[in-house]
């Protein structure tokens, strides 16, 4: 009888292969969940960074020029604000020269 044809050895090899495949699948699933979590956290951070940048530029304009920017294009032209227009919608509503404008940033989904 060949030493590799023993039923007990075949059973142990099959069990160890099943364990290896199962462990590999668990690691892959955990990795995919981790990637998904990091991507969602990164998206939230990007929105917060954009909010902070817009507010900083609005306040900076008021401090330098004495009035709030009349529109978002003014901030983009004079203060270098850039953002991904396909990902975020920035609603800029000026209220007056000496009243801080209302700014709402909405993440565009579906892409």
Percent of the chain with pLDDT over 90: 57
Cβ neighbours of 30 (radius 10 Å): 10
| pLDDT at residue 22, as a whole number | 87
pLDDT in tens, 36-65: 888 777 777 889 999 999 999 999 999 999
| pLDDT at residue 2, as a whole number | 62
- Judged against a pLDDT cut of 60, whether residue 111 lies above it is answered with no
**Positive or negative, the Cα torsion across 30, 32, 33, 37?**
positive
| pLDDT at residue 29, as a whole number | 93
């Amino acid at each position: 009888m060949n030493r590799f044809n023993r039923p007990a050895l075949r059973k142990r090899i099959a069990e160890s292969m099943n364990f290896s495949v199962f462990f590999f699948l668990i690691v892959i699933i955990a990795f995919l969940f981790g990637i998904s979590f990091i991507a969602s956290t990164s998206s939230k951070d990007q929105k917060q960074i954009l909010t902070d940048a817009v507010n900083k530029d609005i306040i900076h304009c008021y401090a330098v020029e004495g009035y709030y920017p009349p529109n978002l294009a003014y901030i983009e032209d004079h203060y270098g604000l850039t953002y991904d227009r396909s990902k975020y919608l920035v609603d800029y509503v000026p209220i007056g020269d000496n009243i801080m404008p209302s700014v709402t940033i909405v993440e565009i989904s579906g892409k």
